[in-house]
A and B are shown apart, each in its own frame.
Chain A
Amino acid sequence: GQQLNQSPQSMFIQEGEDVSMNCTSSSIFNTWLWYKQDPGEGPVLLIALYKAGELTSNGRLTAQFGITRKDSFLNISASIPSDVGIYFCAGSDSWGKLQFGAGTQVVVTP
């Protein structure tokens, strides 16, 4: 299947800092999704992007669908301890077929 490159693999940040992560693909997608997974739970959808160039916010989270349709980024502003978890990007070129990145582990220290 298609390969999604998600970076960074992990990040250790202090409370209050901003966080940025991104995903790139070798192929074009028509949907980008960002999920968060807490320990012992399933991924939870944070933001869905359906249009190239689209910039969408959800509270302290902001995500963008790259103009080339091959990349997306997620920013978290003013991180708090509950932001800890694994963040996954997922891309799709057709309904039902999602490709996931390997995830970014975020650790927030007080």
Chain B
Amino acid sequence: EAQVTQNPRYLITVTGKKLTVTCSQNMNHEYMSWYRQDPGLGLRQIYYSMNVEVTDKGDVPEGYKVSRKEKRNFPLILESPSPNQTSLYFCASSPPHYNEQFFGPGTRLTVL
């Protein structure tokens, strides 16, 4: 089944403790992206990647890092999480030259 998977689905952590949220897709898509969703704000893009080793900032990249060493994986790294990064995070992927992005199931992160 074609899908985007994220792990973990739920995470509660404390301020300053480094964490990684993994994202993997099995559709051989070049493009992958991370979004955060907050009430009343819709989805805001954090980082995106056009292909392996190519990443770029979205609209809200502060406090986040990403890497794209393989086509199928695009982990999101929070080196020193803060409470304002408490949010619902989505990973998405799409084939080249199309904006029809396929979303993962989401990761709900709480930073205490």
A interface list, Cβ under 8 A from B: 1, 4, 6, 31, 33, 35, 40-45, 48, 88, 90, 92, 95-103
Interface residues of B in 38-59 (CB under 8 A from A): 40-45, 48, 50, 58-59
B31 at the interface (CB under 8 A from A): yes
Interface size on B (CB < 8 Å)? 28
Question: Do A45 and B106 have beta carbons less than 8 Å apart?
Answer: no
Knowing A96-B50, A101-B42, say if A42 contacts B99 (CB, 8 Å). no
B interface list, Cβ under 8 A from A: 4, 31, 33, 35, 40-45, 48, 50, 58-59, 90, 92, 94, 96-106
Knowing A31-B99, A97-B45, say if A41 contacts B59 (CB, 8 Å). no
Question: Do B90 and A42 have beta carbons less than 8 Å apart?
Answer: yes
CB distance from B13 to the nearest CB of A (A): 20
